[in-house]
Structure 1
């Protein structure tokens, strides 16, 4: 049963140890240390949130959060390895080497008049540091599946909002009125999509219905926060499902506006196929415990926008090399207003784009110069990924794949032996007449070094 967020006494359901699968052996020893020390000091303390949810479905949580009736200052007094953080939400971080156990004080869902709970005119929550009881804490959490508490004193799970049943049925349901909760924090719409993709849950209809209507509110979120949300959406092993969820609920045009516009104009769907293939490959790398790169991710996500900007500049008569640089800068700058992509990622992202035309070159010096470029491998992987949109680059992919495998002297000899016409052909891109009827620039190659896909 779903609780009303204004209710001060939601119904408690206690799920005993024999009725769930959570075992202490699957809980971080450091989280257990925090729980036991708080209990020994006379405070209530529970494992809470995503860790409980994931353990209930047989998952392996990476993060373990604790909720308690101890205030942040009382928590800090108990742990020498504790630091207090946050203004909007005052939290305690108990640090054990590389692991941080986040400890939050139970919060109330009402304003006590101290100014520690503040909303703006649109209903967005600016500050939430009014402390309360575990019952009040439960109803102010976002989703029922995240409002479950594991008690170490009897190994039971405490459920105040119907979350245990929702987890069993793999349903994601907001606590309280969905419109109000999304207005409090528009990023909850992204969280709904991300958690549904991660957990393979269905978003409950009443929770899903307002998202397309309220999607525009996401533009009010801090760009730095949206960058972190993008990493969680696309670099945690469920990127393809997350992208499809953003499309389904109308969030993609707000999060990646120029990409969404380019995809809508690309009638062949080639650019969308490329993005989905790239996200699929990234998901597999996460499964294989291989490194993933935010620079490569955003090169992929913003590629349609870059293609469209480049073609527009070339249509204006801007020389190709200058158009490439200007398009890269334009797309990066525009996206920064929505997602704060740090320079350490935006610079290599642009290099991946700007290296693409150089893969058609076969002159000996240029081949070896490109092979030595620090961004070569990422750019080559990106070129190979473009085959998902068009087989036009198959010969380039084959050449550079072989070039990487050959000893330098053998490669040099082969390049020196090339007939002049082969080198000349390598320098030229096939020109194709733009289709009558306005095939979008993002979907057609119109020049010797234009990177757009059919």
Structure 2
């Protein structure tokens, strides 16, 4: 095959239809409509970016983006079903029911004739609406594999920066100076990890080398954008490999600082084992087209941080029940400074954590109350996850698995025929667990039951 390293903006490589294997039948019909309509209107139009890359390596793109020399306003004039969005990047969205074809005008790196560009003092890109040619557009994209253009007029692939060969070699390579590109947009470091995990690509050495030293720049990225990037990273079927790359590239402390600290100080490795199992389970559910929820995902990702904070509070003498809520609040608050976790996910996440100690109870009223809790199923699934790394909760798991399968009358009779299970108190043997080695089952520690002032029982409720 031709060596594509000769591809340059002034001498692009044109890969004909017979040599690349992309077929129109694998492209969204709506994307094809947009391409043909642009051409009929006298404009250039190309399928671009991740869709071309994925089709070349045998993937199945979910999104199809288009690049054109038409301005957003000209695109809107061509399509009645079009809306313009964005300030940082002005884009046209052509809407076909539930599918949106994103149309971007070719962008350039300099000049101010047809748009504007703004960066902050650190070089981070704030606004980029300078329009240019397809050659300009190619060199300002992030990775070479994302700078490929599929032309509708002859069904060829146009390559200006060597991305076609990199796709063949399964290498993720940055366009331009890596340090400058990461400073321009620090989230590119996360995109490198995510795309490498998704595609099974290696990251080129010169693109990987600066990441550990520049990881701290992520603290300046908008927390809402980091949340969106996390969803793409962990809920798309390659969560485990993404997490391992975050560790390898030194990005985990920048994204989940308290979790990274907890994993580093957990000598038994139980917390990391449980977290990796959670990510494997998530990947399996995605592969089986089963629903996954950010609340459960973040409950697993932040569980090591919660266990460590809980152990610190209890070692300092804080009442166990107070410590549980306080640890949950602190971890959630601290993490929100990095990743904007919406309350619709953070509150269920905390409920999953705070329900864990209740699984050690065998009192009839509390058993039935927990079974009827709206968050029971998620909390039980989390207990099952904990059991994969913490043998001390295996007995609880077996009891609650049987409890769900039994009729209420049968379960009630079973509970009444047995003496109430003793709830572990602060003086028990593992109450001295250190913060440096908190096990995956740490939240089992509970205070002694005592009567409330009105004569009722105190407990986890």
Shift of 1:424: 3.0
Which residue pairs with 2:112 in the alignment?
Answer: 112
Which residue pairs with 2:322 in the alignment?
Answer: 322
1:358 pairs with 2:358: yes
Higher deviation after alignment, 103-112 or 290-299: 103-112
Shift of 1:324: 0.5
CA contact (8 A) 2:423 2:446 kept: no
Q: Distance in 2 between matches of 1:265 and 1:441?
A: 6
User: Cα–Cα, structure 1 residues 86 and 29, in superposed 2: closer, same or farther, change >3 Å?
Assistant: same
Higher deviation after alignment, 274-283 or 309-318: 309-318
Q: Structure 1, residues 61-86: CA drift from partner, whole Å, max 9, x if none?
A: 00000000000000001111111000
Matches within 5 A, 1:74-85: 74-85=74-85
CA contact (8 A) 1:45 1:69 kept: yes
User: Cα–Cα, structure 1 residues 395 and 119, in superposed 2: closer, same or farther, change >3 Å?
Assistant: same
Q: Which of residues 418, 422, 427 in structure 2 aligns to 1:425?
A: 422
User: Cα–Cα, structure 1 residues 96 and 430, in superposed 2: closer, same or farther, change >3 Å?
Assistant: farther
User: Cα–Cα, structure 1 residues 413 and 252, in superposed 2: closer, same or farther, change >3 Å?
Assistant: same
Q: Distance in 1 between matches of 2:426 and 2:192?
A: 44
SS of the aligned residue for 1:89 comes to coil
1:442 pairs with 2:442: no
Q: Distance in 1 between matches of 2:123 and 2:20?
A: 37
Q: Distance in 2 between matches of 1:2 and 1:176?
A: 15
TM-align CA RMSD: 2.0
CA contact (8 A) 1:172 1:196 kept: yes
SS of the aligned residue for 1:84 comes to strand
Which residue pairs with 1:377 in the alignment?
Answer: 377
So what's the TM-score if we normalise by structure 1?
A: 0.94
Which residue pairs with 1:215 in the alignment?
Answer: 215
CA contact (8 A) 1:76 1:92 kept: yes
Q: Structure 1, residues 360-408: CA drift from partner, whole Å, max 9, x if none?
A: 0111111111011110011001011012221110010000011111111
Shift of 1:414: 1.1
Q: Structure 1, residues 106-128: CA drift from partner, whole Å, max 9, x if none?
A: 00111327771111111111110
Shift of 1:443: 3.2
User: Cα–Cα, structure 1 residues 115 and 93, in superposed 2: closer, same or farther, change >3 Å?
Assistant: closer
Shift of 1:431: 2.9
Which residue pairs with 1:196 in the alignment?
Answer: 196
Higher deviation after alignment, 117-126 or 348-357: 117-126
Which residue pairs with 1:236 in the alignment?
Answer: 236
Matches within 5 A, 1:252-291: 252-291=252-291
Higher deviation after alignment, 355-364 or 405-414: 405-414
CA contact (8 A) 1:361 1:427 kept: no
Q: Distance in 1 between matches of 2:371 and 2:426?
A: 20
So what's the TM-score if we normalise by structure 2?
A: 0.93
Q: Distance in 2 between matches of 1:366 and 1:179?
A: 57
Q: Distance in 1 between matches of 2:213 and 2:253?
A: 13
CA contact (8 A) 2:315 2:432 kept: no
Q: Distance in 1 between matches of 2:115 and 2:344?
A: 38
SS of the aligned residue for 1:95 comes to strand
Q: Distance in 2 between matches of 1:43 and 1:175?
A: 26
Shift of 1:141: 0.3
SS of the aligned residue for 2:422 comes to helix
Shift of 1:435: 7.6
Which residue pairs with 2:334 in the alignment?
Answer: 334
Matches within 5 A, 1:29-428: 29-112=29-112, 116-418=116-418, 420=419, 423-425=420-422
User: Cα–Cα, structure 1 residues 444 and 28, in superposed 2: closer, same or farther, change >3 Å?
Assistant: closer
SS of the aligned residue for 2:232 comes to helix
Shift of 1:412: 1.3
Shift of 1:314: 1.1
Q: Distance in 2 between matches of 1:196 and 1:450?
A: 43
User: Cα–Cα, structure 1 residues 27 and 67, in superposed 2: closer, same or farther, change >3 Å?
Assistant: same
Structure 1 regions of 5+ residues with no counterpart?
none
Q: Distance in 1 between matches of 2:109 and 2:86?
A: 18
Shift of 1:315: 1.5
SS of the aligned residue for 2:387 comes to helix
CA contact (8 A) 2:311 2:435 kept: no
Shift of 1:425: 2.8
Q: Distance in 2 between matches of 1:117 and 1:315?
A: 53
Shift of 1:2: 6.4
